Amino acid sequence: MITQDELRLMLDYNAWADQTMLRTAQGLPEDVLHAPQGLGFGIIFDTLVHMMDAQRAWLQRWQGTPPARFSTRDDYETLDQVEAAWEPLRAEFRAYVLGSDPARVVTYTTTRGETYHHPLGLLVWHVLNHAVEHRSELAAMFTRSGFKHERVDLVYYLGSVAKLGLE
């Protein structure tokens, strides 16, 4: 089973990687940020909204209050609004995960009404792995649009932590 130390590392890495991609997106012109790209959620802005909202939806499921709907681009006008919503959510998500037993079996219901039972630690792994998928789509959209982005592989995070003496 996943340990608390492994969860802490995974959460820290995920926050760093998400913030890195968000920083890149904040440097894009509006027309690029909202341009159809044909990957993931099709638009850089929409993909970032989905990434943030997936964390919210899973946290709510684990807390026993499944979301009635997912957020969309219509719920946010700017990336600053997405970031303002994401930061406290990230803290709440982290506190919940690290304050819980990763072996605890969670019963949750999807927005399609399907009910499942899985250990919390594996569900956290799912959420963080889901974010990797969308970060790779963002990287492709940035590149396709002619914009450079920082690498967000785990080894780059580990290198940045080592440079800061935080190991």
**pLDDT over 70 (residue 165):** no
Q: Do 28 and 89 meet the contact criterion of CB atoms below 8 Å apart?
A: no
Give per-residue pLDDT as tens, 78-131: 999 999 999 999 999 999 999 999 999 999 988 888 999 999 999 999 999 999
Tell me, rounded to whole angstroms, the distance of Cα 28 from its chain centroid: 20
Q: Which residues contact 116 (CB under 8 A, 6 or more apart)?
A: 107, 108, 109, 110
* Both structure tokens of 73: 């681009």
Which of these, 30, 36, 40, 3, lies nearest to 131 by C-alpha position?
40
Angstrom distance (rounded) from CA 118 to CA 108: 9
CATH node for 4-164: 1.20.120.450
Any idea where the domains of the chain sit in the sequence? 4-164
Give per-residue pLDDT as tens, 39-86: 888 999 999 999 999 999 999 999 998 888 888 889 999 999 999 999
Angstrom distance (rounded) from CA 160 to CA 164: 6
Query: Beta partners for 115?
Result: 109
Banded model confidence at residue 167, pLDDT cuts 50, 70, 90: low
**pLDDT over 70 (residue 164):** no
Q: Do 152 and 132 meet the contact criterion of CB atoms below 8 Å apart?
A: no
